[in-house]
Amino acid sequence: MRDSSRSVSFWQQAVDLLSDICGSTHVLTDTDILYTYGQDETLGLHFGFDILVKPGNAEEVSSIVKICNELRIPITPRGGGSGVTGGALPIKGGVVVSLERLNRIIHIDELSSYVIAESGVVTAALCERVEQQGLYFPVQPSSKAYSFIGGNVAENAGSIHSCRYGTTAQYVLNLEVVLPTGAIIWTGANVPKNATGLNLTQLFVGSEGVLGIITKVVYRLIRRPAHEVTLLAGFTTIEDACKAVLAIRQSGFTPAAVEMVGPEALRITAAYLSGPLPLVKQGIEAHLLVGLQEDTENALLHAMETVGGVLEKYAAEPILVGTTTLEKERLWKLRFSIGAALSSGGRTYRDIDISIPLSLLYPYLAKVEEITARYQLAVAYFGHALDGNLHTMVMLDQDLDTEAGANAAQAVNSIYAYAIANGGAISGEHGIGMLQKEFMKNQFSADHLALAKSIKHVLDPNDILNPGKIF
Amino acid sequence: MRDSSRSVSFWQQAVDLLSDICGSTHVLTDTDILYTYGQDETLGLHFGFDILVKPGNAEEVSSIVKICNELRIPITPRGGGSGVTGGALPIKGGVVVSLERLNRIIHIDELSSYVIAESGVVTAALCERVEQQGLYFPVQPSSKAYSFIGGNVAENAGSIHSCRYGTTAQYVLNLEVVLPTGAIIWTGANVPKNATGLNLTQLFVGSEGVLGIITKVVYRLIRRPAHEVTLLAGFTTIEDACKAVLAIRQSGFTPAAVEMVGPEALRITAAYLSGPLPLVKQGIEAHLLVGLQEDTENALLHAMETVGGVLEKYAAEPILVGTTTLEKERLWKLRFSIGAALSSGGRTYRDIDISIPLSLLYPYLAKVEEITARYQLAVAYFGHALDGNLHTMVMLDQDLDTEAGANAAQAVNSIYAYAIANGGAISGEHGIGMLQKEFMKNQFSADHLALAKSIKHVLDPNDILNPGKIF
């Protein structure tokens, strides 16, 4: 959708004004280039827009926002484009602001354990850089090779390690943000303990670009754990796998990762990869992958004994242990290929990113199986089992206007309803974006949503910034 | 200050309306009772007000807020009254809403590891109750015997264990809040991973009662560590003690507590307690108390070796180890008597609750010594060393109108300025309240403060709720 309600000369004027700010090489209108920036990783969706701008610093972002606000041009901020709920899709056209040139790591304070970096730094680049100093940023989403840290903050990204280390939110100390007015603020301070005024930092974390454009991030870091192993366990039933997850919780020990692969995800991914894979065989319906990260060999041995003992009680086969990089990669291979496998062959899945209280792990999956069976839909689930945050992928290979499409929508609704009724959240780590916003009214009361909207309105009265998202 | 601009009949009408909501036994105007509720633990301050109300549930709180909003009566919400920055002081008179009757622990989900409780539950009662189920709430402020969990949330309280476990904010999953309009909302969901809409939960955490009245809290819990010891080390200089703290950080191991006692705090408290105390002797200028909490004996031994080894390098005497409850109490006794010692003999201290990046621990203390020496002021510091959050107590035994008083104010200003210029925060855990609000303009830009105020205004356009705090 390009905005045809405005004249060619209006857009030419906008291009000129933006070129004055960033230099004309960083203001683009070429159709091919804009096509790439009109999509992210959401269901193959694409939106047309009018101007792509690549500012070089926060001051340029500020000037862009002021111009767009004055001319009432919608702005969609964009990081690495790895989102799966449409947070970076320019659904109202207008200007896309790509943060790709804000890619400097500014300062690492090793003793105080924080890093200051611009929001367009690639997640993996930041992780590698801090690891050179023995530090560790533990929330590394699977998109880390190309996602930007600003996008991670804007979506409050999770990772396979969130069960132990938490999500992005727990690491954000301070943010530099350009407000919809063009004002540039720092939200907090560079310290882990802070009780100074309203927590604007956490208001911007997870705000999906609707309240401001993040230009710098101050992340708290931890020491890099020295030792790491992977365990892989196979189970006869998903119920046994769930029992093992709950038993890990009850052991009192929290591994660095507890990832589940459900029956359909296992079958599809094994077929997609072909060739022999560990614990892929008749009678194995589910996998658990457990990551252990400890500071000492003794602690690692203790962790292996504790978790291994729990897994053995429920597993169908001996537990596999990966200690070398190659061994670990072999064990994780199937888990990390699920995304590619599910999207192969032109299939489309709706990723239900629900987060539920852990005690409901098996009841939730049983409910999902029941609902999808009722509507004759394929469902593949996998993910962050100890967080109660499973990616529940419902296959949508039907035209939504058909009866089958209506059934799929009804099934998705029923799954969300179960989670909400039981204290869960409709998004654990992917955000609301444009894809899940219809369910916000189920999650929250009218008074809650009115308050959230009024906060959006007070920051962005002209609804310039990432319009059509969350609300 | 009672509000004399309004007539006796106005207040009688208010009492009648509030009695209709809560029952007349819970609406109080007796002078003696009101006197108690007109103070907290802030510098001996006291404020008069007009009506004390003790609602029994969120619906009653909602009705009270609606009435007060209609009649434009200021409301000060009150927990256990343990605050030290005046957050619960009714500085504009009007109505104090005490949450003391909202004292029920509603639900504990052991497997999912969360508790739902009303905001008037005493911190220690909550901790004890969850420990009966093998769970643990690690952020236990020193006021836990009488502080309320709602107050802990409203101030984002810390504890001696925050260096390992974080502050209250990191444990709040969801809140029930009564807004200034009277609307009752839930802010989040009962799950640790949540990327669903704006983070209203963390907006209310640390908001010091200016945005809403918290009526229920959902806390995430962890497993209770099975083993615990205390180490006490004495140092010849504060610089050695600081070096030991930084070396602990560099060891990569994070103890459950690293508390410092500086020279003046040590001298005053030793004199206050009298009798023999561990490592109180000629040539010992500073203490570090290290708490270790681990799941296994092996892990505890490793922690003792690691941290003990670091401490020995800098300590003046052999490290003392407390393993039994009695031994631990003996080691902690001096640290936990500092507050009482400093406030004995009619002395008043201004608690500067600054949080600084850890690498500046010693430079900060050297600066504090330099500034207070210049103005000939007594200063005693102690507290959460590994967090960079030391309570820096500047003695204010002068009339503030004298030259000495002006000097004290100037010294306090200079200490804040140093922290702010170096990425620190003016409050690590006590909040802003009425006491620190004059420094907000130093911490934050005008644009930041304008945004924070506009959020306050959109929630509370009549400035009814805890007026005169933070802003």
3-state secondary structure chain B: CCCCCCCHHHHHHHHHHHHHHHCHHHEECCHHHHHHHCCCCCCCCCCCCCEEECCCCHHHHHHHHHHHHHHCCCEEEECCCCCCCCCCCCCCCCEEEECCCCCCEEEEECCCCEEEEECCCEHHHHHHHHHCCCEECCCCCCCCCCCEHHHHHHHCCCCCCHHHHCCHHHHEEEEEEECCCCCEEECCCCCCCCCCCCCHHHHHCCCCCCCCEEEEEEEECEECCCEEEEEEEEECCHHHHHHHHHHHHHHCCCCCEEEEECHHHHHHHHHHHCCCCCCCCCCCCEEEEEEEEECCHHHHHHHHHHHHHHHHHHCCCCCEEECCHHHHHHHHHHHHHHHHHHHHHHCCEEEECCECCHHHHHHHHHHHHHHHHHCCCCEEEEEEHHHCEEEEEEECCCCCCCHHHHHHHHHHHHHHHHHHHCCCECCCCCCCCCCCHHHHHHHCCHHHHHHHHHHHHHHCCCCCECCCCCC
Chain B contact for A151 (CB, 8 A cutoff): no
Burial track A364-392 (b if 16+ CB lie within 10 A, e otherwise):
bbebbbebbeebebebbbbbbbbbbbbbb
Q: Which of residues 194-213 of B touch A (CB under 8 A)?
A: 194-200, 202-203, 205-207, 211
Domain boundary among A223, A258, A283: A223
Burial track B161-200 (b if 16+ CB lie within 10 A, e otherwise):
bbbbbbbbbbbbbbbbbbbbbbbbbbbbbbbbbbbbbbbb
Residues A177 and A241 in one domain: no
Phi-psi region of B388 (alpha: psi -120 to 50; beta: other; left: phi over 0): left
Tokens of A174: 């301070």
Look at B451 and A179 and tell me if their CB atoms are within 8 Å: yes
Whole-number Å distance between alpha carbons of A279 and B59:
55
Residues A218 and A229 in one domain: no
Look at B448 and A185 and tell me if their CB atoms are within 8 Å: yes
pLDDT at A1: 45
- Residues of chain A where predicted confidence (pLDDT) is lower than 50: 1
User: Is pLDDT of B461 > 90?
Assistant: yes
Residues A81 and A156 in one domain: no
Look at A134 and B198 and tell me if their CB atoms are within 8 Å: no
Contact B427, B206 (CB under 8 A): no
Element (H, E) at A91: none
| Partner residue opposite B425 with nearest CB, options A184, A191, A356 | A191
- Residue in A227, A225, A224 with CA at minimum distance from that of residue A298: A227
Residue B391 belongs to domain with CATH number: 3.30.70.2740
Residues A268 and A229 in one domain: yes
| A149 found inside a domain | yes
Q: Could you tell me the pLDDT band of residue B400, with boundaries at 50, 70 and 90?
A: low
Look at B203 and A207 and tell me if their CB atoms are within 8 Å: no
Tokens of A350: 């709706």
| A176 found inside a domain | yes
Scanning every residue of chain A, which has its alpha carbon at the shortest distance from the alpha carbon of B224? Answer: A252
Whole-number Å distance between alpha carbons of A304 and A321:
9
Cβ-based contacts of A388 with chain B (< 8 Å): 112, 191-193
Chain A contact for B32 (CB, 8 A cutoff): no
| A61 found inside a domain | yes
Question: Angle at the Cα of B233 (from B229 to B239), degrees rounded to 5?
Answer: 135
Q: C-alpha B442: how far from its chain's center?
A: 21
Chain A contact for B245 (CB, 8 A cutoff): no
Chain B contact for A445 (CB, 8 A cutoff): yes
Residues A363 and A439 in one domain: yes
Taking residues B415-444, what's their average pLDDT? 96
Whole-number Å distance between alpha carbons of A25 and A50:
16
Chain A contact for B431 (CB, 8 A cutoff): yes
pLDDT tens-digit profile of B220-251? 999 999 999 999 999 999 999 999 999 999 99
Domain boundary among B346, B372, B402: B346
pLDDT at B331: 98
pLDDT at B1: 45
Look at A189 and B388 and tell me if their CB atoms are within 8 Å: no
- Residue in A230, A231, A379 with CA at minimum distance from that of residue A314: A231
pLDDT tens-digit profile of B31-59? 999 999 999 999 889 999 999 999 999 99
Cβ-based contacts of A454 with chain B (< 8 Å): 458-459
Chain B contact for A410 (CB, 8 A cutoff): no
Residues B260 and B305 in one domain: yes
Task: Quote the number of domains for chain A.
Answer: 4
Look at B299 and A302 and tell me if their CB atoms are within 8 Å: yes
Element (H, E) at A31: helix A31-37
Look at B430 and A179 and tell me if their CB atoms are within 8 Å: no
Name, in order, each residue with C-beta under 8 angstroms of B358's C-beta and a sequence gap of 6 or more. Answer: A111, A112, A113, B245, B246, B249, B386, B387, B388
Chain A contact for B298 (CB, 8 A cutoff): yes
Look at B183 and A298 and tell me if their CB atoms are within 8 Å: no
Residues B151 and B133 in one domain: yes
Domain boundary among A69, A98, A127: A98
Whole-number Å distance between alpha carbons of B30 and B36:
11
Contact B211, B204 (CB under 8 A): yes
Q: What is the DSSP letter of A275?
A: S
Whole-number Å distance between alpha carbons of A471 and B396:
51
Cβ-based contacts of B254 with chain A (< 8 Å): 223
Interface mutation target, options A196, A353, A354, chain B, most CBs of B under 10 Å: A196
Scanning every residue of chain A, which has its alpha carbon at the shortest distance from the alpha carbon of B155? Answer: A195
Residue A165 belongs to domain with CATH number: 3.30.465.10
| Partner residue opposite B207 with nearest CB, options A189, A190, A198 | A198
pLDDT at A407: 86
Structural domain of residue A261, as residue ranges?
225-346
SS3 category, A1: coil
| A286 found inside a domain | yes
The stretches of A286-402 forming alpha helices (DSSP H) are 297-314, 325-343, 361-374
Chain B contact for A133 (CB, 8 A cutoff): no
Chain B contact for A309 (CB, 8 A cutoff): no
Whole-number Å distance between alpha carbons of B65 and B24:
17
SS3 category, A294: strand
Contact B386, B310 (CB under 8 A): no
Look at B447 and A206 and tell me if their CB atoms are within 8 Å: no
Chain A contact for B321 (CB, 8 A cutoff): no
pLDDT tens-digit profile of B163-202? 999 999 999 999 999 999 999 999 999 999 999 999 999 9
Look at A183 and B447 and tell me if their CB atoms are within 8 Å: yes
Chain B contact for A188 (CB, 8 A cutoff): yes
Residues B372 and B301 in one domain: no
Name, in order, each residue with C-beta under 8 angstroms of A165's C-beta and a sequence gap of 6 or more. Answer: A138, A139, A159, A222, A256
| A150 found inside a domain | yes
Name, in order, each residue with C-beta under 8 angstroms of B375's C-beta and a sequence gap of 6 or more. Answer: B407, B408, B410, B411
Cβ-based contacts of A205 with chain B (< 8 Å): 199, 202
Contact A159, A142 (CB under 8 A): yes
| Partner residue opposite B455 with nearest CB, options A194, A429, A458 | A458
| B467 found inside a domain | no
Residues A237 and A311 in one domain: yes
Look at A448 and B186 and tell me if their CB atoms are within 8 Å: yes
Half-sphere exposure of B366 (CA within 13 A, CB side): 9
| B278 found inside a domain | yes
Look at A185 and B452 and tell me if their CB atoms are within 8 Å: no
Look at B134 and A252 and tell me if their CB atoms are within 8 Å: yes
| B420 found inside a domain | yes
- Residue in B317, B250, B289 with CA at minimum distance from that of residue B385: B289
Whole-number Å distance between alpha carbons of A432 and A355:
13
Residue B64 belongs to domain with CATH number: 3.30.43.10
Scanning every residue of chain A, which has its alpha carbon at the shortest distance from the alpha carbon of B432? Answer: A196
The answer to whether ipTM exceeds 0.95 is yes
Contact A337, A345 (CB under 8 A): no
Contact B42, B84 (CB under 8 A): yes
Residues A234 and A325 in one domain: yes
Scanning every residue of chain B, which has its alpha carbon at the shortest distance from the alpha carbon of A471? Answer: B197
A398/chain B closest Cα distance in angstroms = 27
A276/chain B closest Cα distance in angstroms = 34
CA distances from B224 to A92, B137, B189, B256, B350 (A): 51, 8, 23, 12, 35
Residues A168 and A247 in one domain: no
Strand B105-109 vs strand B135-136: parallel, antiparallel, or unpaired? unpaired
Q: C-alpha A105: how far from its chain's center?
A: 22
Residues B334 and B233 in one domain: yes
* Residue B313 backbone phi and psi in degrees, to 5: -60, -30
Scanning every residue of chain A, which has its alpha carbon at the shortest distance from the alpha carbon of B153? Answer: A195
| Partner residue opposite B194 with nearest CB, options A250, A299, A355 | A355
